[in-house]
Structure 1
Amino acid sequence: MIVTVTPNPALDLTYTVDALVPHGTHRVTTVTERAGGKGLNVAAVLQALGEPVLATGLLGGGTGTRVAGLLAAAGVAEAFVPIRAETRRTVAVADRADATGFWEPGPCVTDTEWAAFVDRFRDLLGDADVVALCGSLPPGAPADGYATLIRLAAARQVPTVLDTSGDALRYGLAAGPDLVKPNAAELAALLGSADADPARLLDPGARATGNGRSARNDRPVEDDRLDRGARAAVVSHGPDGLVGLTAGGAWRARPPERLTGNPTGAGDACVAALARGLRDATAWPDLLADAVALSGAAVAAPVAGSFDPPTYRRLRGTVTVTAA
């Protein structure tokens, strides 16, 4: 079973209007709602693929109850821990041209609530084959919260995939996840440059570059929280595909065509493919090709957490994977 962790989920609301006019009054033509958050999108994709999956995290208030109900209606098993504060909402106002988003701040989590979640996570590891740790940490959660979960999983020999940003990514890397998946912007923010060597994300034993030099040599001395790093990294470059790096090599996977649509859930579909491939010990070129195909199929779907099966089947055999 794949366990997805979403510490800061949301109730996603989408209002559709004819045209968005600032400071105006609008008649909403349709309202849709769904259980949102990166880990829940990953869980929904895995569930649609027929993979055993369990979603966990923190939910609170009436909004949290609604999120749990939407997960049940979608057939996604969950083991969320209740908190007192209200789960956040995200609101997207979509018209014929584009969409405008309004993201509420996450609820404040107490130390006791976080400790209860860590206990729940420890219990869930008994049935987990892989854990995907996704999205932001809510206010009140420790900055090294993901690092704690990664170390607990490692102690039980359960592989981890980390998909987050900022301090949560920096501290999480120090715990040595099996796989980290930043996008290019998150990588640049973490390492301080758009041209930074992504091999710096890897554990020192896996940082050999093409010329045999350790990529750690040019890292600033004060950047000691990256000293451990991940066993493997996959960097997303949007419509240009993925770059995968491991101790055994590096590959670039490119889609056969540029897809248009909704890219919101593409990264989450990528994580779903990576988690499944990590569980199955899929060879890296095949794993990256599958992740690109599933990401592209997510772009072709109307909402995050879903994908277009015909597009997925069409792309799977046509992704180009080359040594990087």
Structure 2
Amino acid sequence: MILTVTLNLALDVTYEVPRVDWDGVNRVGAVHRRAGGKGVNVARVLAALGHDTLVTGLAGGRTGHAVEADLRSAPLRHALTPVAGDSRTTLTITEPHTHPHEPGRSGRTALFNEPGPHVTSGELTAFTRRYEKLLSGAGAVVLAGSLPRGVPAGFYATLAAIAAARGVPAVVDADGEPLRHAAEGRPAVVKPNADELARAVPGGTLTEAAGALRERGAGAVVVSMGADGLLAVTGEGTFRARMPYTVHGNPTGAGDALVAGLALALVERTPWPDTLRRAAALGAAAVATPVAGEIDPDVYADIHPQITVS
């Protein structure tokens, strides 16, 4: 079982709009509402691949109840800790890649994230106790996404250290201060994108910045670079995964699908070249779908064998 932690759970709302007019009225072509947050998206991808998962995190208020209802209907196994504050809503607005009257214009995606509830120290203590119990049945744990207000920036490092003490490898996908601190908990893998890594470790190349996170305690650093593929700085060397072509669509859940591949590799002890090829293919397959947490199996099957790793 892979445990996924989403401390800032959300109700994800996606609007598919034929063409966004930022100064006028827009007619929405399709609406999707579902439980979200990075860890939930990871769990959806793992479940689609047939792997056992368990979603944990913090949920509260009417939005939290809507999130739990969607997890039940998915169905995704979950064990959430209640908080008094209302969980957040996120809004994604996507345009199609092709525009019949503007063939040279590519589609765009805009994401609006609410900050989430304020979490008390007592609620955080209750979550940590539950987390420690859930680790007993986990082969790996994913710690992903933003932290709600009231949660210390070093909390992912704390959770990773608790997992490591129990022999459970952790993947951390975070940004800003949580990313800077994460390596101190000695996670097996840290997965920033290129911009997140540059903010966390300014100056130098991506390889040097990834190496700096390894020096702070991370076992490996896998950097997602969109159409440019992946960079992995590991204890076995530095690897590059290159994409054969660009997949167009909604990139919102691409990193989450990629993280699902990394978590699977920890459980299955997959060699790095195979790990990166599968993770990159899952990320591309996620871009081809309209909502985060899904993958297009046809895109995955086509692009996977064409990804080169050096």
Letter in 2 for 1:8: N
Residues 1:6 and 2:16 aligned together: no
Q: Which residue is equivalent to 1:202?
A: 214
CA distance in 2, matches of 1:43, 1:292: 17
Letter in 2 for 1:246: T
* Contact 2:273 2:309 (C-alpha < 8 Å) held by counterparts: yes
1:191 to 201, 214, 219: 201
Residues 1:317 and 2:305 aligned together: yes
* Contact 1:181 1:233 (C-alpha < 8 Å) held by counterparts: yes
CA distance in 2, matches of 1:291, 1:101: 23
Partner deviation per Cα, 1:196-233 (whole Å, 9 max, x = no partner): 51211214xxxxxxxxxxxxxxxxxxxxxxxx320111
CA distance in 2, matches of 1:91, 1:313: 30
CA distance in 1, matches of 2:95, 2:235: 46
Pairing 1:138-153 to 2, within 5 Å after superposition = 138-153=148-163
1:103 to 74, 90, 113: 113
With normalisation by structure 1, the TM-score equals 0.88
CA distance in 1, matches of 2:276, 2:132: 30
Residues 1:298 and 2:298 aligned together: no
Letter in 2 for 1:61: G
1:129 to 135, 139, 144: 139
* Contact 1:184 1:194 (C-alpha < 8 Å) held by counterparts: no
Partner deviation per Cα, 1:248-303 (whole Å, 9 max, x = no partner): 21110112212111111111111000000011110111111111111111111121
CA distance in 1, matches of 2:35, 2:50: 19
The SS at the match of 1:312 is helix
The SS at the match of 2:293 is coil
Partner deviation per Cα, 1:56-102 (whole Å, 9 max, x = no partner): 10000111111111111111111111101000001234455534433
Question: Against the structure 1 CA distance between its residues 262 and 23, is the aligned structure 2 distance closer, same or farther, given a 3 Å change threshold?
Answer: closer
* Contact 2:14 2:291 (C-alpha < 8 Å) held by counterparts: no
Partner deviation per Cα, 1:103-125 (whole Å, 9 max, x = no partner): 22211001000111101100101
Question: Against the structure 1 CA distance between its residues 15 and 236, is the aligned structure 2 distance closer, same or farther, given a 3 Å change threshold?
Answer: closer
Residues 1:273 and 2:261 aligned together: yes
* Contact 2:153 2:177 (C-alpha < 8 Å) held by counterparts: yes
* Contact 1:7 1:135 (C-alpha < 8 Å) held by counterparts: yes
Q: Which residue is equivalent to 1:50?
A: 50
With normalisation by structure 2, the TM-score equals 0.91
Q: Which residue is equivalent to 2:122?
A: 112
Partner deviation per Cα, 1:144-202 (whole Å, 9 max, x = no partner): 11111111101111000011011111111111111111111111101112625121121
The SS at the match of 1:79 is strand
Q: Which residue is equivalent to 1:178?
A: 188
CA distance in 2, matches of 1:18, 1:289: 33
Q: Which residue is equivalent to 1:232?
A: 220
* Contact 2:32 2:291 (C-alpha < 8 Å) held by counterparts: no
The SS at the match of 1:317 is helix
Question: Against the structure 1 CA distance between its residues 115 and 28, is the aligned structure 2 distance closer, same or farther, given a 3 Å change threshold?
Answer: same
Q: Aligned residue pairs: how many?
A: 298
Q: Which residue is equivalent to 1:60?
A: 60
Question: Against the structure 1 CA distance between its residues 49 and 145, is the aligned structure 2 distance closer, same or farther, given a 3 Å change threshold?
Answer: same
The SS at the match of 2:283 is helix
Q: Which residue is equivalent to 1:78?
A: 78
Q: Equivalent pairs: percent with the same residue?
A: 49
Q: Which residue is equivalent to 1:159?
A: 169
Letter in 2 for 1:169: L
CA distance in 2, matches of 1:99, 1:179: 28
Letter in 1 for 2:86: E
* Contact 1:14 1:91 (C-alpha < 8 Å) held by counterparts: yes
Q: Mark the runs of 5 or more structure 1 residues left unpaired by the alignment.
A: 204-227
* Contact 1:16 1:29 (C-alpha < 8 Å) held by counterparts: yes
Letter in 2 for 1:292: A
CA distance in 2, matches of 1:26, 1:300: 23
Q: Which residue is equivalent to 1:90?
A: 90
CA distance in 2, matches of 1:312, 1:30: 24
CA distance in 2, matches of 1:91, 1:192: 30
Question: Against the structure 1 CA distance between its residues 237 and 23, is the aligned structure 2 distance closer, same or farther, given a 3 Å change threshold?
Answer: closer
CA distance in 1, matches of 2:160, 2:109: 36
